[in-house]
Amino acid sequence: MKILVTGGAGFIGGNFCYYMLDNRPEYKIVCLDKLTYAGNLSTLENALKNKNFKFVKGDIADKILVDKLFADEKFDVAVNFAAESHVDRSIENPEVFLVTNILGTQVLMDACRKYGVKRYHQVSTDEVYGDLPLNRPDLLFTEETPIKTSSPYSSSKAGADLLVHAYYRTYGLPATISRCSNNYGPYHFPEKLIPLMISRALANESLPVYGDGLNVRDWLYVEDHCSAIDLIIRKGRVGEVYNVGGHNEMTNIDIVKTILNELGKPHSLITYVKDRKGHDLRYAIDPTKIHNELGWLPKTKFADGIKKTVEWYLQNKPWWQSIISGEYKNYYDKMYNSPRG
Ligand code: NAD
Ligand code: TDX
């Protein structure tokens, strides 16, 4: 079995490579990644020592490169994690989101059709469903919830999902889609809420909470997302969407306070800043379908997962310190220290 993993130098794709190398030692993995600002080869340092793992630098939207890779490697399965993934960046510059997230998906699926790949899996997000009201805890996203996006990022992911469905329906491409809630864990790029707050708290810097901090996200430990994708590619039904989440809704401010408490840092570091434009209020996944059909259940409780995550950032300072000292510093200064027009 040979799997293409795109975006494997990023957060979830990297964790998925390790998950598969550990749990499916009979599989061969080829990772295709453009190494954008969010891609980090040091994430794959240990994977690169494994004879079942190979890294190829390249763009999923590069037709010629992708075609040659598929011709050479003869993949059984392709799992597409590669994406521009940060909502705030999509608000500043939508174009690259459309190119990578939509056209890149098309290029990969065309190659899957041409070379008869047995399964194409699209890693999507709960953000395609838009948001839920804060005062209706009874409402959850199911696979039947209409697509209704808020940001250029979520619109590009929704566009890709629709294209995947069209390739299944029109060409019979054996495709599946997973829509997961917010992930957290090792190798998470420090522009996202949890690693941003950990890295800034450790430096005794202010923690920028958008708006009133009461927006709700549904957090899942990254390894549980990886186990769901592994199940879907082996046992999921083609043409189907599977929601992935562990019923763990928390307000942003509670997340930030939990991190400060874990690190023994004062709550006075919290600074309320201008809200994100179009900021989604609440995400909450109903994972009944993947549980009933495939028997998936998350293993890691938030209280344990956040401890493990904080510990990982304490033990792996060189990984994130090299990121925040580079180009990322200019991004932070631009995004947070100048008014959002
Ligand atoms: P990430 O930003 O950490 O990593 C993305 C990776 O894709 C990087 O290694 C980057 O170099 C690579 N990449 C970007 N453009 C590329 C291109 N054109 N060609 C090849 N490689 C390219 O993202 P992540 O948080 O790991 O998210 C992975 C996937 O999971 C995305 O599709 C995202 O939409 C989805 N998702 C993320 C979350 C979350 O909480 N992070 C939740 C649900 C779904
Ligand atoms: O500095 C910040 N302050 C803040 O209050 C940042 C970066 C975020 N936030 C808030 C915004 C959100 O309500 O925290 C929440 C989480 O923000 P992000 O980490 O940017 O994640 P989110 O916008 O929820 O999107 C994430 O989950 C779905 C991923 O980045 C997406 O790729 C995934 O699809």
Q: Could you tell me the distance, in angstroms and rounded to a whole number, from the CA of residue 64 to the centre of ligand 2?
A: 34
Q: Could you tell me the distance, in angstroms and rounded to a whole number, from the CA of residue 82 to the centre of ligand 1?
A: 5
Tell me, yes or no, if 283 is annotated catalytic: no
Range of the domain at 124: 2-184+219-247+284-301+326-337
**Domain assignment present for 319:** no
Residue 183 · residue 11 · CB < 8 Å: yes
The secondary structure of residue 32, as a DSSP letter, is E
Q: Could you tell me the distance, in angstroms and rounded to a whole number, from the CA of residue 111 to the centre of ligand 1?
A: 20
pLDDT in tens, 250-301: 999 999 999 999 999 999 999 999 999 999 999 999 999 999 999 999 999 9
Find out whether the beta carbon of 7 lies less than 6 Å from any atom of ligand 1: yes
**Domain assignment present for 195:** no
In this predicted structure, which of 63-72, 85-94, 321-330, 332-341 has the lowest mean pLDDT?
332-341
Q: Could you tell me the distance, in angstroms and rounded to a whole number, from the CA of residue 301 to the centre of ligand 1?
A: 24
**Domain assignment present for 265:** no
Probe target for ligand 1 pocket from 4, 5, 11, with the most ligand atoms within 8 Å of CB: 11
CA-nearest residue for atom 14, ligand 1, is 83
pLDDT at 340 over 80: no
**Domain assignment present for 223:** yes
**Domain assignment present for 315:** no
**Domain assignment present for 47:** yes
Task: For residue 337, count CB atoms less than 10 angstroms from its CB and return exposed for 0-12, middle for 13-18, buried for 19 or more.
Answer: exposed
Of ligand 1's listed atoms, the one at least distance from the Cα of 127 is: 43
The residue length of the chain stands at: 341
pTM above 0.85, yes or no: yes
| Mean pLDDT of the residues in the chain | 97
Q: 61: helix, coil or strand?
A: coil
CATH assignment at residue 55: 3.40.50.720
Find out whether the beta carbon of 195 lies less than 6 Å from any atom of ligand 1: no
What is the Cα gyration radius of the chain?
19
Exposure string for 37-68, b = 16+ CB within 10 A, e = fewer: ebbbeebbeebeebebbebbebbbbeeebbee
Tell me, yes or no, if 95 is annotated catalytic: no
Find out whether the beta carbon of 83 lies less than 6 Å from any atom of ligand 1: yes
Catalytic residue among 19, 120, 129, 153: 153
In this predicted structure, which of 50-64, 146-160, 232-246, 323-337 has the lowest mean pLDDT?
323-337
**Domain assignment present for 273:** no
Tell me, yes or no, if 153 is annotated catalytic: yes
**Domain assignment present for 171:** yes
**Tally of domains in the chain:** 1
pLDDT in tens, 187-228: 999 999 999 999 999 999 999 999 999 999 999 999 999 999
Find out whether the beta carbon of 208 lies less than 6 Å from any atom of ligand 2: yes
